[in-house]
């Protein structure tokens, strides 16, 4: 446990993109049986960023409602987790800090380890709050998942940001102390600095993920974690939602349980609603699973949730959280559903054009087409500097 004081997720909000590509459009283009997407990988559609959206605009959009509800007085740290970084030096969090008007007396940093980064951010945030329980930490996980066109990974793209306010006496989920850790140097998925699409060995990545599930669980048990039966649900990193089912089945087998499909569906089904229609949001994915669970399920007060965070390369962590009684009064279910439903469908040609856009590198002045209707946009690039703007009419619900 986290000592005498409970520390964890006090508030959580997510944002996604302006556009959405249904998998039916991808299947029609490449001749794939739609069953492979809808059932085989468990994906319905994927979020597609507009030309003027990126990890900063999504991160700011996700975080703005937290600031509107709680203010920024107690936030002294912003940790921005991403693997789709826009700069090799400056943290994307500094742009968000500015867009949200946070006080100068703040430390801001960007963290990276593939999809695992946000979990590192959460754990580091808990450490900071432990040192001074009066402080809160704003954790932002924001990513755009991009693979080559016409590659097997294409169907598992997506984009979203989750913002979490981490503090003492949290209103949503108390994070428990024991963590199961696992690191292995594998080349299952990576993205060299000179590429903006990821490279992946699909089957190897699934095997590496499953090995990490075993490794983290073994360590979690050795660290004195809860028994398998002590969990009401499991939030897995979901590069595609079927992966969560594969992972849970694997964990059941590893623990010597008979795999009962109805029981697996009960443990996982409620966590997949957002990831199924958003696609892989890398760092945000496991926390989108949590958002779906809290928003969709019956009252989970007092129940324990298992979290499995996996980042290719690879680093993984298994940890537990307890749902705080009364949490339902603090949820943002309506805003979350609106974030999904407000997306405008894009056809295959439109998606392909957006996918093929590259960031101008000539140092000239480039304005970005105004496509997003969200509160923040990337207005352009001038002298190699990204120019963001907040729409005066941009609406933020507290």
If one asks whether residue 307 binds ligand HMG (CB under 6 A), the answer comes out as no
CA distance 397 to 355: 31
Check binding of 282 to ligand HMG (CB under 6 A).
Answer: yes
41 binds ligand HMG (CB under 6 A): yes
Residue 45 found at the interface with ligand HMG (CB under 6 A):
no
Asked if residue 196 binds ligand HMG (CB under 6 A), the reply is: no
Residue 368, helix vs strand vs coil:
coil
Between residues 75 and 264, which has the closer beta carbon with respect to ligand HMG?
264
In the complex, the smallest distance separating the C-beta of residue 180 from ligand HMG, rounded to whole angstroms, is: 17
Written as one string, the DSSP assignment of 144-201 is EE-B-TTSGGGGG-EEEEEEEEEEES-SSEEEEEEEEEEE----SEE--TT-SSBEE-
State the alpha helices, DSSP H only, in 235-386.
Answer: 241-254, 261-268, 273-278, 285-296, 333-341, 348-356
**Residue of 272, 280, 304, 396 interacting with ligand HMG (CB under 6 A):** 280
Q: How many residues bind ligand HMG (CB under 6 A)?
A: 29
Active site residues: 83, 115, 237
Which residues between 49 and 108 bind ligand HMG (CB under 6 A)? 83
Q: Report how far residue 47's alpha carbon sits from residue 62's, in angstroms, rounded to the nearest whole number.
A: 15
Q: Whose Cβ is closer to ligand HMG: residue 189's or residue 307's?
A: 189
Identify the CA nearest to 267 among candidates 295, 228, 299, 309: 228
Nearer to ligand HMG, 48 or 171 (CB): 48
Contact segment (CB under 6 A) with ligand HMG among 34-42, 103-111, 321-329, 384-392 equals: 34-42
- 316 and 212 Cβ atoms separated by less than 8 Å: yes
Tokens for 150?
A: 């016409």
In this structure, are residues 150 and 38 in contact, taking their beta carbons and an 8 Å threshold? no
Task: Kindly tell me which residue out of 46, 128, 200, 251 binds ligand HMG, with binding defined by CB under 6 A.
Answer: 200
Does 39 help bind ligand HMG (rule: CB under 6 A)?
Answer: yes
Q: Which residue is nearest to ligand HMG (CB)?
A: 40
Candidates 99-107, 237-245, 363-371, 381-389 — which segment interacts with ligand HMG by CB under 6 A?
237-245
Stretch binding ligand HMG (CB under 6 A), from 19-27, 151-159, 287-295, 318-326: 151-159
The encoded tokens of residue 334 equal 């309506």
Q: Show the tokens assigned to 134.
A: 């009066």
Is 225 an interacting residue with respect to ligand HMG (CB under 6 A)?
no
Residue 11 binds ligand HMG (CB under 6 A)? no
3-class DSSP assignment, residue 282 = helix
Q: Other C-beta atoms within 10 Å of 80: how many?
A: 32
Residues that bind ligand HMG (CB under 6 A): 33, 35-36, 39-41, 83, 114-115, 152-153, 155-156, 188-189, 200, 202, 205-206, 209, 237, 239-240, 243, 280, 282, 310-312
């Amino acid at each position: 446990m986290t000592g005498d004081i409970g520390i964890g997720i006090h508030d959580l909000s997510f944002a996604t993109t302006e556009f959405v590509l249904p998998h039916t459009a991808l299947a029609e283009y490449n001749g794939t049986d739609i069953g492979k997407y809808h059932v085989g990988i468990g994906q319905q559609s994927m979020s597609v960023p507009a030309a003027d959206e990126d990890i900063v605009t999504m991160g700011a959009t996700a975080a703005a409602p937290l600031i509107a509800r709680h203010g920024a007085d107690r936030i002294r740290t912003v940790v921005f987790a991403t693997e789709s970084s826009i700069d090799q030096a400056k943290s994307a969090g500094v742009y968000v800090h500015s867009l949200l008007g946070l006080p100068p007396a703040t430390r801001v940093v960007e963290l990276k380890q593939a999809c695992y980064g946000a979990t590192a951010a959460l754990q580091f945030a808990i450490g900071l709050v432990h040192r001074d329980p009066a402080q809160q930490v704003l954790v932002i996980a924001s990513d755009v998942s991009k693979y080559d066109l016409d590659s097997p990974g294409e169907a598992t793209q997506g984009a979203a940001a989750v913002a979490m306010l981490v503090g003492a006496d949290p209103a949503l989920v108390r994070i428990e102390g024991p963590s199961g850790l696992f690191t292995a140097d594998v080349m299952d998925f990576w993205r060299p600095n000179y590429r903006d699409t990821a490279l992946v060995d699909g089957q190897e990545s699934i095997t590496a993920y499953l090995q990490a599930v075993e490794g983290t669980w073994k360590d979690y048990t050795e660290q004195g974690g809860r028994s398998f039966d002590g969990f009401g649900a499991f939030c897995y990193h979901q590069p595609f939602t079927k992966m969560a089912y594969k992972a849970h089945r694997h964990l059941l087998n590893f623990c010597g349980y008979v795999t009962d499909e109805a029981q697996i569906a009960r443990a996982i089904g409620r966590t997949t609603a957002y990831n199924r229609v958003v696609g892989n949001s890398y760092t945000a994915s496991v926390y989108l699973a949590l958002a779906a669970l809290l928003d969709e399920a019956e009252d989970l007060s007092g129940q324990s949730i298992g979290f499995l965070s996996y980042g290719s390369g690879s680093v993984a962590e298994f940890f537990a959280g307890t749902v705080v009684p009364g949490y339902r009064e603090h949820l943002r279910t309506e805003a979350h559903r609106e974030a999904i439903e407000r997306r405008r469908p894009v056809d295959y040609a439109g998606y392909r054009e957006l996918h093929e856009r590259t960031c101008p590198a000539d140092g000239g002045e480039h304005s970005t087409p105004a496509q997003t209707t969200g509160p923040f946009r990337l207005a352009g690039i001038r002298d190699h500097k990204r120019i963001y703007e907040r729409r005066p009419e941009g609406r933020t619900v507290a």
